[in-house]
Amino acid sequence: MPSDLKRVSRALLSVSDKTGLVDFARALSERGIELVSTGGTHKALSEAGLSVKDVSDLTGFPEMMDGRVKTLHPSVHGGLLGIRANPEHQAAMLAHGIQAIDLLVVNLYPFEATVAAGKPYDDCIENIDIGGPAMIRAAAKNHGDVAVVVDGADYAAVLADLSRYEGAVTYTLRRRLAQKAYARTAAYDAAISNWFASELGEATPPFRALGGAIAEVMRYGENPHQSAAFYRTPEQRPGVATARQVQGKQLSYNNINDTDAAYEAVAEFNPERSAAVVIVKHANPCGVAEGASLVEAYERALRCDPVSAFGGIVAMNRALDAEAAKAITEIFTEVIIAPDASEEAIAIVAAKKNLRLLLAGALPDPRQPGLTLRTVAGGFLAQSRDNAVVDAMDLKVVTKRAPSERELADLRFAFRVAKHVKSNAIVYARDLATVGIGAGQMSRVDSSRIAAWKAAEAAKAAGLPETLAKGSVVASDAFFPFADGLMAAAEAGATAVIQPGGSMRDDEVIKAADEAGLAMVFTGHRHFRH
């Protein structure tokens, strides 16, 4: 038997989420452990027929100030913090009538859920727990003597130790629970501080806290030698974190990253206007299209780069239907993500047992503000989400020729896509479908040439006599620093260009566009994506 065992004689329980509480408390009581509780928890246990003391029996004070003050008392914190092997601590406990608390069970007021539900400011404030975090931190600090439980998922582990070790808990478990306790209070405080920053309109607070709850441990990270896990934050943005996985094997690290990229991209397209499909490979769109139906949009997106689409992620802006499901499952696909799916579509996808089907319930709002993060050595970068959308931009015609209505529609489409392509990004599009994409190159002219080459290859794969770039438009995520990238597009057959503008050589680029007969518009907005 381990020598680090600590017997549990008294437990203090104070929980907001009462799932599994009564069964757990009954198991404790059956072992002769004295139960002490507060407020709603005390009521729930009493109504279940359990013998339970009120915390006021320890403190000598009633709950007051609407329950704000009940556990912030030396009798509680002394019982948690007193070191059992320290004579001075024991003498103080004896002198002041402080009873030891060996097990603390606390989960916190539902602050995150209150914010997610869009409750008023005052309601959010009232759901900031004070006594709970104070007790958790006290118990976790004194884990040499006290076990602290902040998650109902750990009830079974505590009961297993109590059963195996005749009413005692091991140091190994107590230390693991302490780590989880501090992580929970840290995530809780992070949610509160970030909510305050948002309420204050403070984009760059002096301290930025991060917190998340584990969703699943991954088999490995970006590569097999890297460990990884997926954590959810309080943000309720529809997507891979909120989606229900209907079928398929576990998502990998790369699957989650790519699926997020695909779903954020497809959300740029209003489902009330048209169906849209985005195919992503290695975090970059390799095909995007709108259509009268999902299957039409998918087939047009697939035509852009059928080679890269193999083993890709398919995202759509409408509920997956049977016709689209049949088409998508004809080639190897890693993940399908949609707001919803018909039962017939689900049955069709089920024939591919490894294909993951995710239903997110809704589309994320591309205009919604938010925060994006990236780690660097010794810190992290935090920035507001790129929520600029081309429909809200004032497009400025800078060439002698203005784009036609068809070209203008394609230009807006292409710029929506370029926002989600790694820089340097060049997107060729025609008839609301990508026909060539150049991504992640060190020079913009290389991206232009690669996109043109992709368009030519796609035409060959489709058995067409000329490149798909013929008669297309081109979007660039940032300005053309020289005319060479623009001319590469013109040589490939493009007729119109959309770009942010703002280069020292804008006049030179505009002149080249005029000489080539191109129409060009400036957006005034850059969409770098690294």
SS3 (DSSP) at 148: strand
Q: 134 — alpha (psi -120 to 50), left (phi > 0) or beta?
A: alpha
In 102-240, alpha helices (H): 111-116, 121-126, 131-141, 155-164, 171-200
**Structure tokens that stand for 27 in this block:** 């198991």
Of the candidates 145, 151, 209, 132, the one whose C-alpha atom is nearest the C-alpha of residue 174 is 145
Residue type present at position 417? V
Sheet holding 53-54, edge to edge: 53-54, 34-37, 10-15, 103-107, 147-149
Q: What are phi and psi for residue 395, nearest 5 degrees? A: -75, 130
What is the distance between the alpha carbons of residues 296 and 275, in angstroms, rounded to a whole number? 8
Question: Given the structure tokens 């009581």, which residue do they identify?
Answer: 29
**DSSP states of 482-513 as a string?**
SHHHHHHHHHHT--EEEE----TTHHHHHHHH
What is the distance between the alpha carbons of residues 513 and 495, in angstroms, rounded to a whole number? 9
**Structure tokens that stand for 7 in this block:** 């017997």
CB atoms within 10 A of CB 509: 25
The answer to whether 282 is a known catalytic residue is: yes
Of the candidates 163, 208, 215, 216, the one whose C-alpha atom is nearest the C-alpha of residue 186 is 208
C-alpha 143, offset from chain centre:
32
Q: Annotated catalytic residue: which of 282, 352, 353, 527?
A: 282
**DSSP states of 434-458 as a string?**
EEEEE-S-SSHHHHHHHHHHHHHHH
The answer to whether 141 is a known catalytic residue is: yes
Cross-strand pairs, 381: 374
Q: Annotated catalytic residue: which of 141, 281, 400, 530?
A: 141
**Residues with catalytic annotation?**
141, 282
